[in-house]
Structure 1
Amino acid sequence: MNRSGKAVIVLLILLAAASISLSGVIYYNLEKEKSQTNNLSVEISDIESEKARLEEKIDEQKTELSKVYARLEQNEKKFKKLTFSIDEEKRKSQEVVSESASLRKDLADTKTAKVDLERKITQNQEELDSFKLEIAQLKKVKDVLQAKLKELTGDFDVELGKIVIGPEDASSKSSPRIDATKKKSAASNLEGKILVVNKEYDFAVINLGARDGVSVGDMLSIYHKGNYVGDIVIERVDEMMSSANFLSSNTKEKVKEGDKVVYRSS
């Protein structure tokens, strides 16, 4: 075997090793995405359980309120009857007067209980609405992660399919290592999009991550249909996506899912 043939074999072995290493990285990221999805499922399950508990509590309080209304109506009828009796017979026995005072107090207590129950029902309803909103937001994030997980699975299969040993590939493939400085420079020319907007907690999720050269602290500009909306700053970076904070509340109100994001010009 001549020296050129040996060099080709060595190069092919290196390419195969690099492909296997890349497959391992993709598998690790796949497991990471699965873990995040499972964690979200558990969190949503806990919130739905709390929601069910609150709904049951509200139903109980509504039942109690119905009883209070019935009691209030009954006491009001008694009170009117006694008031009429007192007006007609002002010299009625002290027992009737005492009963009237007791009913007045009972009526006042019942009205107070009614107000308290209505206030509690309102508070619980607001809390329930908040949980419903949080569940909807978490489901959105979960759907995005599941889509990314599916995308990762597809990439994993494609990369495995690329491990082919043949002399025709030796001259067309190069090492997958990318210099960090070049990767960061390339990131400044990248364009991405908004995946999720969470206005309650003031953050957005974009489809650019560490593999694209994104770093914590990077600043990007948002465009909606070609019009500048505002800026965001990267707070957390994962392999395939990142979360960013809005630099102003005005930006938060304008940004939409699907808006384009680009690195801000210095």
Structure 2
Amino acid sequence: KKEERAEPVYSKKEATQILGEREIQSVDLPPIVVSPSSVDAKISLPASLDGKILNVNSEYNFTVIDLGLDEGLKEGMVFEVLRQGQLLGKIEVIEIRQEIAACDIIQAVTPFETGDIVRY
């Protein structure tokens, strides 16, 4: 059976003597302030966004639209594709440049054409 050693308990006076007459002091830390970073403030997505299809690549099933980083696009955004008010299908943003974006065609009732409207 192991012998348990009790830790010695010192009074404040004894502790002060052991530490060489130094006073035991509490440490005051400055308050911690948490604030949202500027990156968090830029995460909000646009409420509504309209653009146009610039190009359709049927072979690889993607489109290029006239919206990009300037309009606040993010990868994964899904747009409806419309022609004369009729819903033709949906596209998903996969790659973004300053003024344009490439989008996968994820649903198409009718083939898309250059000039079709895209709406977020």
| 2:73–2:96 contact (8 Å) kept in structure 1 | yes
| 1:246–1:252 contact (8 Å) kept in structure 2 | no
Question: Unaligned stretches of 5+ in structure 1?
Answer: 1-178
The yes-or-no answer on 1:243 pairing with 2:105 is no
Correspondence for 1:262: 119
TM-superposed deviation, 1:189: 1.2
**Percent of aligned pairs with the same residue?**
29
Runs of 4+ in 1 over 4 A off after TM superposition: none
SS in 2 for 1:211: helix
Deviations 1:186-215 (A, max 9, x none): x23110000000001110000000110101
TM-superposed deviation, 1:253: 4.7
Q: How many residue pairs end up in the alignment?
A: 80
Matches within 5 A, 1:227-242: 227-242=86-101
Which of the pair has more CA radius of gyration? 1
Correspondence for 2:70: 211
SS in 2 for 1:254: coil
Deviations 1:11-66 (A, max 9, x none): xxxxxxxxxxxxxxxxxxxxxxxxxxxxxxxxxxxxxxxxxxxxxxxxxxxxxxxx
Could you tell me how far apart the structure 2 residues matched to 1:234 and 1:259 are?
A: 16
Correspondence for 2:42: 180
Letter in 2 for 1:195: L
Could you tell me how far apart the structure 2 residues matched to 1:258 and 1:180 are?
A: 30
TM-superposed deviation, 1:181: 3.9
Structure 1 residues 244, 252: closer, same or farther in 2, change over 3 A? farther
| 2:88–2:109 contact (8 Å) kept in structure 1 | no
Could you tell me how far apart the structure 2 residues matched to 1:255 and 1:188 are?
A: 24
TM-score (norm 2): 0.62
Deviations 1:100-133 (A, max 9, x none): xxxxxxxxxxxxxxxxxxxxxxxxxxxxxxxxxx
Alignment root-mean-square deviation, CA: 1.6
| 2:64–2:103 contact (8 Å) kept in structure 1 | yes
Tell me which protein shows more helix as a share of its residues: 1
Correspondence for 2:54: 195
TM-score (norm 1): 0.29
Of structures 1 and 2, the one scoring higher in RCO (CA 8 A, sep 6+) is 2
Correspondence for 2:9: none
Could you tell me how far apart the structure 2 residues matched to 1:261 and 1:225 are?
A: 12
